[in-house]
Structure 1
Amino acid sequence: MKRFCIIVTALLVASPAFAQSTMQQKLETRFAAADVDHDGKLTRAEAQAGMPRVAQHFDEIDSAHLGYVTLEQVEQFAAQHMR
């Protein structure tokens, strides 16, 4: 029984880290698929075609109004709005 409790506790501790890692991988995969010219940036059109939620918040994410967003900017925006 003690061993079972240790295993369950370990799984509960590891679950949030695993979920975050999985979400990170999914975000990276979706960003790469949407980045059709593989320049590491999403234009508004690329976001509309491949990442509609990013497109919905494009102006907020592209705070410098450069006409594109990077994966890092998308990650930062997501982190700020998941709290």
Structure 2
Amino acid sequence: MNPRHMFPAGLALAACLACGPAAAQQPAVPAPAAAPASASATPASAPAQRPANAKEAKAKFAEKFKAADTDHDGKLTRDEAQAGMPEVYKQFDQIDVKKAGAVTQRQIGAYFAAKAKQRKAAQDPGSLN
């Protein structure tokens, strides 16, 4: 895979991971009955919707990153990551390869893209990727 194409893929993956358990597949269950029209507003406690495509996932990730970046410098410190992006916080030392004390969207995307590639290779050892 071309390294230029890994960043968007990694960013989309990071967005999906940032959604946390809400993005996990649920076991097949019968669909609930339709809600009454007056209940059209989504309650605050409702789980986040899983992004429908890579573009939506990238946008959701960028939104989460922006919200977590409280000083608006384009980087997340360990404290910002802990408060706003717990999945990034858990992997902070591995993502911050330059040991700068902060990570960028690009670094996060590259890290999660590499992890996805490793998982894929582990699942399919005969693959050339």
TM-score by length of 2: 0.49
Q: Which residue of 1 aligns with 2:78?
A: 44
1:54 equivalent in alignment to 2:92: no
State which of 64, 67, 70 in structure 1 corresponds to 2:98.
64
CA–CA separation in structure 1 for the residues paired with 2:115 and 2:58? 15
Q: Which has the higher helix share?
A: 1
The unaligned stretches of length 5 or more in structure 2 are: 1-51, 118-129
| Partner SS state of residue 38, structure 1 | coil
Deviating 4+ runs (over 6 angstroms): none
Q: Give the letter for the 2:88 counterpart.
A: V
Higher strand share: 1
Q: Which has the higher contact order (CA 8 A, sep 6+)?
A: 2
Q: Match of 2:59?
A: 25
**What SS is found at the alignment partner of 2:87?**
helix
Structure 1 unaligned regions, length at least 5: 1-17
What whole-Å deviation, never above 9, does each CA across 1:31-66 have from its counterpart, x for those lacking one?
000000000000000000000000000000001110
Q: Using the aligned pairs only, state the percent identity.
A: 45
- Would you say how many aligned residue pairs link Structure 1 and Structure 2? 66
Q: Distance in 2 between matches of 1:59 and 1:26?
A: 23
Q: 3-state DSSP class of the match of 2:79?
A: helix
- In the alignment, which residue of structure 1 is the partner of 2:114? 80
Q: Distance in 1 between matches of 2:68 and 2:55?
A: 20
Shift of 1:80: 1.5
Q: CA deviation at 1:82?
A: 2.4
